[in-house]
Amino acid sequence: MTWRQQPEHERVYTTDEIEARLKSELPHWYVEDGWIRRKYRTSGWKSTLMVVNTVGHLAEAAFHHPDLTVSYAFVIVKLMNHAAKGVTDKDFALARKIEEVIGWQPGKDPDSPLEGTPDDPRFKYLKYDG
């Protein structure tokens, strides 16, 4: 497999366009200082590391890498296309995939044989939004 060069001119979205897309596509994300961002709250260090590793896997598979802020009980994911110097479709696509995987709750799917994380403090993982 050969390395693909990025297109010379990727569409960079304006702040207003970013805010509109986030509102309709990624409501838990926000724009700040030219980045789209999301704060994932966790139940502690072990959960934080699982989130970081999951985001890392998705970013490496996509070959599009976010900046991360990592603390004991949260992870902040920041996306901006460095080559394009702004937010592009790549950022929205990776944000959607991160949101889909990190936010997955099999216990909320009535057709899933998987139960999901028990509602017990010993097994807490993420603090899910809604």
Give 1's pLDDT tier (boundaries 50, 70, 90).
very low
Q: Identity (one letter) of the amino acid at 2?
A: T
How far does CA 75 lie from the centroid of its chain?
Answer: 10
Asked: is 35-103 a CATH 3.20.20.70 domain? The reply is: no
Gap between the Cα atoms of 43 and 27, Å rounded: 22
Over the stretch 85-106, which tens digit does the pLDDT of each residue have? 999 999 999 999 999 999 988 8
How high does pLDDT run on average in the chain? 91
Rounded to 5 degrees, what are φ and ψ at 83? Answer: -65, -40
Q: Which of 38, 34, 37 is nearest to 12 (CA)?
A: 34
Q: Which of 92, 106, 55, 93 is nearest to 77 (CA)?
A: 55
Residue 82 has a pLDDT of 92
Over the stretch 15-35, which tens digit does the pLDDT of each residue have? 999 999 999 999 999 999 999
- Residue 120 pLDDT exceeds 90: no
Residue 109 has a pLDDT of 85
Would you kindly state where each structural domain of the chain is located, as residue ranges?
35-103
Q: What is the pTM of this model?
A: 0.89
Per-position DSSP letters for 32-94, written without gaps between them: ETTEEEEEEEBSSHHHHHHHHHHHHHHHHHHT---EEEEETTEEEEEE-BTTTTB--HHHHHH
